[in-house]
């Protein structure tokens, strides 16, 4: 809802005479909280019902966290704008510990992401890593009841909800590579709505768009989903696009990674090249093991 209101305010500023209405939906991904996303259909559960509202004419656009948008959109849909990225990092939330390094062996750490889980297992094999689902308030309540010693969450979500004071430590991309699109918002609409695509164009952030397109292209080339522990993070450095990525076995027993540079104008080609490099280094074997 914060995301929808943020975009509504931006549109109202751009087009003062345009009436903007929020059509709220509680998606299946929000309702099913006792099973990991990878077992019930993946992140598309946060998107499908919003796409249905667009297809049926009940809504014109949908606002998503870019990391929740499936890499392959249904026919007739497009991402019309990717907004300027917020904080892309993961963060530690704990009532007792100031850093991951301060957590003792056997500490129970909650996360909803296979990507975060495999990176934690690689660095801290002694942790007990457990799934935690629900909205941010639900997850924090579980932490406060003592069900977990710490949580690993996306920093952007906490900051947007004005819960930044719950962050005990930000985890660098070097230690926890973000998910494709993490920290950015994406606006989806139908491809035949040229009027909307034109209206949304001023909200697009060119640098963020290039980075997220590269990340998504890599994930798409590897059939990225919740079942694939994959991190991909692009940045602009000295006019070049740098893309770092990894693919891991779910138990963190095997990991392949890449770090390449390319032209920001060819972001999707860079993502595809990074995927080829990962495959050349053994990603196919990791993918095959996932079944």
List the catalytic residues: 68
CA distance 208 to 178: 14
* Cα 45 from chain centre: 14
CA distance 289 to 287: 5
Q: What is the β-pairing status of strands 230-237 and 90-93?
A: unpaired
Q: What is the β-pairing status of strands 90-93 and 150-154?
A: antiparallel
CA distance 257 to 275: 10
265 and 206 in contact (C-beta within 8 Å)? Answer: no
CA distance 150 to 142: 10
Pick from 256, 90, 102: nearest CA to 176: 90
DSSP 253: S
Helices (DSSP H) in 77-234: which residue ranges? Answer: 114-123, 136-144, 155-160, 194-200, 206-221
Per-position DSSP letters for 191-208, written without gaps between them: TT-HHHHHHHGGG--HHH
Can you read off the two tokens belonging to residue 19?
A: 């009436």
Rg of the chain (C-alpha set):
19
Q: How many residues does the chain have?
A: 291
Burial of 29 (0-12, 13-18, 19+ CB in 10 A): buried
Can you read off the two tokens belonging to residue 138?
A: 């639900």
């Amino acid at each position: 809802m914060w995301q929808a209101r943020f975009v509504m305010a931006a549109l109202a500023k751009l087009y003062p005479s345009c009436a903007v209405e929020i059509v709220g939906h509680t998606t299946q991904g929000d309702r099913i909280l006792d099973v990991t996303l990878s077992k019930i259909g993946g992140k598309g559960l946060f998107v499908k019902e919003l796409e249905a509202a667009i297809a049926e004419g009940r809504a014109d656009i949908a606002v998503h966290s870019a990391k929740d948008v499936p890499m392959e959109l249904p026919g007739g849909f497009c991402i019309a704008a990717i907004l300027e990225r917020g904080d892309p990092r993961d963060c530690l939330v704990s009532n007792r510990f100031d850093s991951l390094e301060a957590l003792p062996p056997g500490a129970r750490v909650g996360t909803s992401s296979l990507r975060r889980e495999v990176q934690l297992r690689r660095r801290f094999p002694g942790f007990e890593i457990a799934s935690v689902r629900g909205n941010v308030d639900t997850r924090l309540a579980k932490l406060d009841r003592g069900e977990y010693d710490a949580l690993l969450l996306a920093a952007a979500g906490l900051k947007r909800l004005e819960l930044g004071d719950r962050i005990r430590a930000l985890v660098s991309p070097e230690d926890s590579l973000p998910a494709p699109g993490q920290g950015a918002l994406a606006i989806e609409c139908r491809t035949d709505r040229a009027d909307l695509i034109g209206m949304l164009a001023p909200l697009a952030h060119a640098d963020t768009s290039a980075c997220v397109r590269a990340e998504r292209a890599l994930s798409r080339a590897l059939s990225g989903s919740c079942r694939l522990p994959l991190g991909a993070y692009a940045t602009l450095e000295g006019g070049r696009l740098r893309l770092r990525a990894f693919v891991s076995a779910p138990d963190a027993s095997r990991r392949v990674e890449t770090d390449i540079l390319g032209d920001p104008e060819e972001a999707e080609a860079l993502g595809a090249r990074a995927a080829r490099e990962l495959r050349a280094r053994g990603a196919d074997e990791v993918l095959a093991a996932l079944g």
